[in-house]
Chains A and B, each alone.
Chain A
């Protein structure tokens, strides 16, 4: 807009003033006001106030260092792990509708799921590949955090919580591995649980508690199912909340990005 232009003639819509555009005009219509609750926030102070008051955004700090949001800082592996967990919860809930954890029914349920249930095979694929990818993503996240030195003070506590989350990821994957009740599942869990039996003195007891008997059987399937769909997810989400809370709080602390002066 040239500054020498004469003011436009009166029209129905307010004129486009400097700093205003068509989007602002749309927001000021009756429909626009029903969708957006207020005018556009323009200044950082204004945006920060909105961020601060938002429930969905309270996890994030309002501002971060430019280097901290770059791809090379984290490869976004934490976000990727969390998204995969979300994908697993959604697909897992769907699978639960069609599954009974009993040796007589489990395998048949999976076959029915794959052949008769709408999107059954597809959702099962999503669940399985998400699970494998989550193990990879969480492990990669830990490695990246090591190489960045993100376990150094004041973040030692969150590193330990992260190790717990890695262990929980393995347990989630391991308990889910048995549920299809096919040869692959049965013998993988047999081999895996034999490792627990090598612990001196109490190894056999650990294995019996895990399996609910001397060998993988009906009680193993039930135990792994309950662990997989109820116990471990609740623990995992709780610990993850603690992890994210610590991430948010530790972010506020001044972390020396410069090397210490010797």
Chain B
């Protein structure tokens, strides 16, 4: 590092004086922002939220240009379509109904899922946050989540007339 060069004291228009310009790295501690540093919500978070909001709105508005909402024939109580499908988010339940007694698949399992979700914070008393310290909770939750996604996909896409197995690339029976 060379000697600091001191320029002639001069006055800027607002009356401040600059005593010198020093080449080299700054003296003193320059702090890199840490993870738990506090930042102003405006603009840091609000800009991010605005970008997320605009992105999802843009996505919806484009999808709505590309794909029309379905409209089948007028409702007719005397003509039952085959297969008869529930909305896609209940397709997992409908798939369960094909395998278990209705009391189990229609009442006990969904009731247990809702009760477990509500009670989760009171069942899982471990104070740990990192996933590697919460193996039991993580594995249990993930297992149920994956099972549920698989059941929903099967009920939504892989079931045809009389709830028989179909391949979605052969016959498409999913309804949105």
Contact = CB atoms under 8 A, between A and B. Distances in A.
Nearest to B69: A128
Interface in B87-117: 87-90, 93-94, 97, 102-103, 105-107, 110, 114, 117
A170 B91 CA distance: 13
A198 B102 contact: yes
Interface string A51-82: 10000010011111111010100001001100
Contacts of A198: 102-103, 105-107
Given A3-B12, A135-B89, A125 B67 contact: yes
Most buried by A among B39, B42, B71, B93: B71
Interface string B114-126: 1001101110100
Contacts, number: 228
Given A122-B64, A148-B129, A79 B121 contact: no
B150 to A, nearest CB: 15
A58 to B, nearest CB: 11
Where chain A touches its partner, the secondary structure class is helix
A107 B73 CA distance: 9
Interface residues of A, number: 91
B114 A163 contact: yes
Contact of B72 (A64, A79, A184): A184
A151 B126 CA distance: 11
A103 B77 CA distance: 12
B38 interface: yes
Interface stretch (B23-31, B53-61, B164-172): B53-61
B93 A195 contact: yes
Given A173-B89, A192-B87, A15 B60 contact: no
Interface residues of B, number: 82
Contacts of B42: 47, 51, 57, 60
Contacts of B44: 69
A187 B41 contact: no
A80 B56 contact: yes
Interface stretch (A26-34, A175-183, A225-233, A237-245): A175-183
Contacts of A170: 89
Interface of A: 1, 3-4, 7-8, 15, 17-18, 44, 47-48, 51, 57, 60-67, 69, 71, 76, 79-80, 83-84, 87, 103, 107, 110-111, 114, 121-122, 124-130, 132-133, 135, 137, 142-143, 146-149, 151-153, 155-156, 159-160, 163, 166-167, 170, 173-174, 177, 180-188, 190-192, 195, 198-200, 203, 215-217, 256-257, 259-260
Nearest 6 Cβ contacts at the A-B interface: A156-B121, A198-B106, A186-B75, A125-B64, A76-B52, A128-B69
17 contacts: A1-B12, A51-B40, A63-B41, A66-B34, A69-B48, A124-B69, A125-B64, A127-B69, A129-B67, A151-B120, A160-B118, A163-B118, A191-B85, A200-B107, A256-B129, A257-B129, A259-B130
